[in-house]
Amino acid sequence: MQGHTERQIASLIDHTILKADATALEIEKYCAEAIQHGFCSVVVNPVHVRRVADALRGRNVRTASVIGFPLGGNVPALKVKETEVALEQGADEIDVVIDLGAMADGRYADVESELKAIRRASEGKIMKVIIEACLLTDEGKIAASSISAAIGADLVKTSTGVSTGGATAEDIALIRRTVGPEIGIKASGGIRTRETALQMLDAGATRIGLSVGPLLLQL
């Protein structure tokens, strides 16, 4: 990845602000930074989607909303409704937390059913499935990634960034072997340096989620 230019790296970054007490001023700052650096998207909690969509209108930066964040424990109907509202308010992409309890139980059919419903609700938009890899066995990571690919998700995302661990190159490589070359992979959680970001890209990631994008580009 030494051949990646700063502009190319920037275009793969989801500039992310998901803290509970994010202010309007901070959200607007993230939008301005994303425009300045040419980031792929700005990722926010649903309450901020309209503000971000307004700030990014006419710019080549997407608006992304998390869904079922951070635990994935909402019932499917609520995740679908949250998706619909986010899209109505201007989201171009959604980052959906998988039903982690169902994954732990091995109720893969329930996981698939929920994700299919969310995929239908988000047709035509980018859907990323957050599998929270740090809470899964390798078997679970493979199953979650396979289900995500099967229902038509655009990317598998490693982590929420608020659980017991974040992205690892090993998990990225495992997901890539599982889903093949056609689906994207988003590395998220614990990425704070250019070196770490490049390791994720080398392992097969196609998108990087982090809150310190401008700093990473300066390192």
Active site residue 186: yes
Out of 79, 128, 141, 157, the active site residue is 157
- Check residue 43 and report its DSSP letter: E
Token digits of residue 147: 């289900």
Out of 14, 92, 95, 171, the active site residue is 95
Out of 79, 128, 141, 186, the active site residue is 186
What DSSP string runs through 52-117?
Answer: HHHHHTTSS-EEEEEESTTT--S-HHHHHHHHHHHHHTT-SEEEEEP-HHHHHHT-HHHHHHHHHH
Token digits of residue 166: 């974040």
Residues 6+ apart with CB under 8 A from 10: 37, 38, 39, 213, 217
Which residues are part of the catalytic machinery? 95, 157, 186
